[in-house]
Amino acid sequence: MKLDAKIPSGPLAEKWERHKFDMKLVNPANKRKFDVIVVGSGLAGASASATLAELGYNVKCFCYQDSARRAHSIAAQGGINAAKNYQNDGDSVHRLFYDTIKGGDFRSREANVHRLAEVSANIIDQCVAQGVPFAREYGGHLANRSFGGAQVSRTFYARGQTGQQLLLGAYSALSRQIGLGKVQMYERTEMLDVVVSDGRAAGIVVRDMVTGKISSHSGHAVVLATGGYGNVFFLSTNAKGCNVTATFRAYKKGAAFANPCYTQIHPTCIPVSGEYQSKLTLMSESLRNDGRVWVPKNAEDCGKKPSEIPDEARDYYLERKYPSFGNLAPRDISSRSAKEACDDGRGVGPGGLGVYLDFRDSIERLGEQAVRDRYGNLFDMYERITGDNAYQTPMRIYPAVHYTMGGLWVDYHLQTTIPGLFCLGEANFSDHGANRLGASALMQGLADGYFVAPYTIGNYFASEKPAELSTDAPEFREVEEEVNDRTKKLLSIQGKRTVTSFHRELGQLVWDKCGMARNEKGLKEALKKIPELRAEFWENVNVTGTNGELNQNLEYAGRTADFLEFAEVLCHDALTREESCGGHFREEYQFTKDDPEVKSGFTGEGEAKRRDDKFAHVSAWEFKGVDKKPRLHKEKLAYEEVKMSTRSYK
């Protein structure tokens, strides 16, 4: 396997514009000859499908939901970043680029991040033209707010439901193309494998989730826009259906999987309330604009009501540790700070796993109605879940798995190591390094779908000879047989344990050994336990029902089986990366009081300590077989525009 990032030459700020001109084009009449398969209908998938169809390509779009507009992008709350500088507060394309590189702890590819910052402004124009109801100032201008890791206000938002409104915009564009006959939409259809012919992607094999029918679809290019793998932890803010199956099956067919250990723990989520839970709920990072995070200074005050604890007895720890950014410090360090406070015995609520997010001062300063106008739906959701009125008492929050920065390795064209197989949005690794800044996920998904993939896929068609294969070809028959055999095997085991019990046990294991903090001992224990759990799954799982019907238990079993294999790759990556960076925190690699950076006051004791001399690279893993260690490939990260340095948000 060879990793060629295909980064164009020239000055960083000119690479993308020059490269768009250098890429080959497909003339309008010839576009009708090419078929593109898009798997996923979230922001990346819907925008790519609509744009490719608008250009003239024939598109098939697949999603497992009952409607494309129910993709998990709908759950995004806080906003979308763009370098518009409407606030005249010093923002620019270069500042958004730098904030993203720094926020990712200098572990992302420079050229991809700059391109993302460049096209960010176009996204807002596109969405406004579609009618997305962004918040506006009194005079009618688009409003902005701040998000973590930035000292400017560049986040556009639609109250606390930005993802939903953006997805409805993309869905309207997709629906238009469906109506024109340029997009064939396949709802309630799950992709179960990629078909490769002569080393190129030739199509996919899918299962109709209502009838159980297995069928094949051929295309000249396949686009995966299937989201992240956060549900490997069982409890996360992801929808229950979110899974790793599409990208992991592609990995097993030859696509490299990059940086799987980079998982994001979001600092503001409603804490776990019991073992009966199947998922967790996000409280938008936007709340940290007006909410202040604190815990009691003294452990003995943790049992008191928050109103009984005076200000002088409160530790506003983010404001204390990171005065320049305060409550809007990036997610990775905010989450670890919450964990440190709780580990110190100062957590609040059941089990001591919680910190306060307090709006008292903002309500006194702005009035309750102003806070209600900004975050009303979030406060309502919090009250429905917890029974507490956050206008009167602080929210109780705790970090939870939210996003994954790892994904399939892609080059500058968003193409995987399998020619003709492209990967967009959260499903790829490309833009966020070891930690994603808030409000950048929506930006990346729409950038990839609207403004990058339509150029690069066209270049692939014009430059290469795409696979052109009938679904009657042996390659398709072989993969269909593999899928059928796997399904029959799952149904035939008839063991004594439920799929949920295996998934829950795996999730707890991965959270304990490879969660907010990892160490060599714990990772090795996980790598010993995961194969044992996987072997038990294939001997003792009970999958009820049959294949020829709607069978959610069968769907869940297939996804859990993939998690049981993928978790091993995740832990191998975490064990091999002997440094701390962003969301990957190895306890052995943190700053101590003896380090010069701590003595000088530049950073603090216990902060993540990178090892740029050994780990300034992308780790891309190649599948070598089940129960075999995957092979590691490295893409060196070269920085031309910025200098790698120790992050400081003090």
pLDDT digits (tens, 9 = 90+) for 603-634: 999 999 999 999 999 999 999 999 999 999 99
Share of the chain above pLDDT 70, in %: 100
Residue pointed to by tokens 């309500």: 363
Q: Regarding the domain delimited by 474-636, which CATH topology (the fold level of the hierarchy) does it fall under? A: Methane Monooxygenase Hydroxylase; Chain G, domain 1 (1.20.58)
Cα(467)–Cα(253) distance, rounded to whole angstroms?
Answer: 15
267-402 folds as Flavocytochrome C3; Chain A, domain 1 (3.90.700)
Grade residue 467 by pLDDT with cuts at 50, 70 and 90: confident
Which stretches of 582-630 are assigned E, i.e. beta strand?
617-622
Quick check: 559 and 551 in contact, CB under 8 A? Answer: no
pLDDT of 573 reads: 98
Spatial separation of the C-alpha atoms in residues 48 and 551, rounded to whole Å: 30
**Helix, strand, or coil (residue 220):** coil
Q: What is the pLDDT of residue 465?
A: 83
Ordered strands of the 292-296 beta sheet: 263-269, 395-404, 355-358, 292-296, 314-315
Cβ neighbours of residue 148 closer than 8 Å, sequence gap 6 or more: 103, 285, 288, 325, 328, 329, 330, 331, 334, 437, 438
Dihedral sign for Cα 416, 422, 426, 427, please: negative
**Residue with tokens 């305060």, as numbered in its chain:** 326
Alpha carbons 261 and 577: distance in angstroms, whole number: 9
Q: Which of 69, 154, 331, 534 is catalytic?
A: 331
Q: Confirm if 77 and 160 have CB atoms less than 8 A apart.
A: yes
pLDDT in tens, 302-341: 999 999 999 999 999 999 999 999 999 999 999 999 999 9
The order of strands in the sheet holding 421-423 is 183-186, 58-62, 35-39, 221-224, 421-423
Q: Where are the domains of the chain?
A: 267-402, 474-636
Q: What does pLDDT average to over the chain?
A: 96
Residue 424 CB-density burial (10 A; 0-12 exposed, 13-18 middle, 19+ buried):
buried
Q: Is 518 labeled as catalytic in the residue annotation?
A: no
What are the tens digits of pLDDT across the range 468-483? Answer: 899 999 999 999 999 9
Residue 276's pLDDT is: 86
CB atoms within 10 A of CB 594: 8
Residues constituting the chain: 650
CA pair distance 306, 301, nearest whole angstrom: 9
Burial label for 525, CB within 10 Å (0-12, 13-18, 19+), is: middle
pLDDT of residue 164: 96
